[in-house]
Amino acid sequence: MTMTGKPDVTGFYDPRTFSIQYVVADPATKKCALIDPVLDYDEKSGSVKTENADRLLAFVAENGLSIEWILDTHPHADHFSAAQYLKSKTGAPTAIGAQVVEVQKLWKEIYNWPDLAADGSQWDKLFTEGEAFNIGELKGRVLFSPGHTLASISYVIGDAAFIHDTLFMPDSGTARCDFPGGSASRLWNSMQQILSLPDETRLFTGHDYQPGGREPLWESTVAEQKATNSHISKCATEAEFVAVREARDATLPMPKLILHALQVNIRGGRLPEPEANGTAYLKIPLGALSGAVWG
C-alpha cells in the first residue's frame, strides 16, 4: 500500500483528561484539520471553558492555516468534544464515523431520551469505511476501527494515522473495551488493520497516561508498535489478546466523565439546551453502569 504526502502534525496535550488533540496541516496549501478537540469541563463545579479549543484556534491563526475539517474519531467517554464550538467559530464542517448512529441508539436508551435524533444528523459528514477525503492536496481515508466503541474510526492522512483509542504508546498497550458496545475481539481485528499499514507509518494516539511519571508521548510507528507494544508483542493470537484485555478491563473503574460526556458527544459536542430558568442541566442515569468497578 502506497501512501503519499507528509502532513505537519502538531499535538496538544490536555493533562486534565490525558487527551491529545491534533492540528494536521498540508504544508503546500496551509489547509488543516482539527482532530479530537477537547471542550474543558469541570465536573465539580459544572463549569465549561474553551481554553483547549482556543489554543488550537490560536495555533491555526499564528501559522496562517485554514481549517477544512473538524474530525472526531468516536464519541468520547472521558471528555467533551469541542467540535460544535469550533464550528461556531470557524464554519468548518464536522465529521465522525457513520456507525455513530449505533452508539446514539445505545445511549438513547440508557439516557431514556426519546427525542434524541439517532441518525447522525448532528454532524455535517458521516464517513464510511474506506471513504476518501482531502486536506488541501493531502489524501485521507477512513478505517473502521471498532472495539473500544461501536463507532471508532481511524484517519489515515498521508503517512500518518490517527488511531485514538486502539493502540496507545508501546509502553501502555491498548485501549479498554468494556464500555457499552465494546469488544476486545473487534479491537484485535481493528489493530491488525492498523498494523498492516507500512512500517514507517506514523501513528498518533489519543491518550497518554504517562506510565511511571514520564513526559507525555503520542507518536510512534507501525514498526515500533509491532516490535514493542506491551500487549501486541506478548499476544500472538486473538484469543490471547482477548484474555489479557478482558482481565485488565475487569479491574478498571469507569472514566469519571462517561455519563456526563456521552450525552454531549452523541450530539456532536452540543451542550444541553437551557431550561426555562436559563440554566442547562446534564442528566445522570443512576445505576446505568452498575457492574463497574468503583474508583
pLDDT for 249-259, tens place per residue? 999 999 999 99
Low-confidence ranges of the chain (pLDDT < 70): 1-3
- Residue 292 near residue 255 (C-beta atoms within 8 A): no
CATH number at 229 reads 3.60.15.10
Measure the N-to-C terminal CA separation of the chain; round to a whole number of Å. 44
In a domain, 3, yes or no: no
Q: In 3-state terms, what secondary structure has residue 19?
A: strand
Alpha helix ranges (H) inside the chain: 51-62, 83-90, 100-110, 184-195, 222-228, 238-249, 258-265
Set of cell numbers at residue 119: 441518525
Domain assignment present for residue 279? The answer is no
Q: Is residue 147 packed enough to be buried (19+ CB in 10 Å), middle (13-18) or exposed (0-12)?
A: buried
> Could you count the other beta carbons within 10 Å of the beta carbon of residue 91?
9
For residue 275, being part of any structural domain is answered with: no
| DSSP states of 165-220 | SSB--TTT-B----STT--HHHHHHHHHHHHTS-TT-EEEESB---GGGPPP--EE
Q: Does the residue 103 lie in any domain?
A: yes
pTM for the model: 0.96
* Helix, strand, coil tally for the chain in percent (to 5): 25, 25, 50
Strand partners, 133: 140
Model pLDDT for residues 181-211, shown as the tens digit of each residue: 999 999 999 999 999 999 999 999 999 999 9
Residue partners of 17: CB distance under 8 A and separation at least 6: 38, 78, 79, 207, 257
Reference 123, options 262, 291, 269; nearest CA is 269
pLDDT for the residue 99 = 97
Supply the pLDDT for residue 1.
Answer: 44
> What is the C-alpha R_g of the chain?
18
The pLDDT value given to residue 233: 87
Distance CA(79)–CA(18), nearest Å, equals 10
Domain that holds residue 13: 8-265
In a domain, 272, yes or no: no
Contacts of 255 (CB under 8 A, 6+ apart): 77, 78, 261
Q: Is residue 226 part of a domain?
A: yes
- Answer yes or no: is 293 within a domain: no
Note whether 167 and 196 are within 8 A (CB).
no
Q: How many angstroms separate the CA atoms of 281 and 295, rounded?
A: 24
Q: Are 27 and 33 in contact (CB under 8 A)?
A: no
Q: How many CA atoms lie within 13 A of 49 on its CB side?
A: 9
Q: How many domains does the chain have?
A: 1
Q: Indicate whether 283 belongs to any domain.
A: no
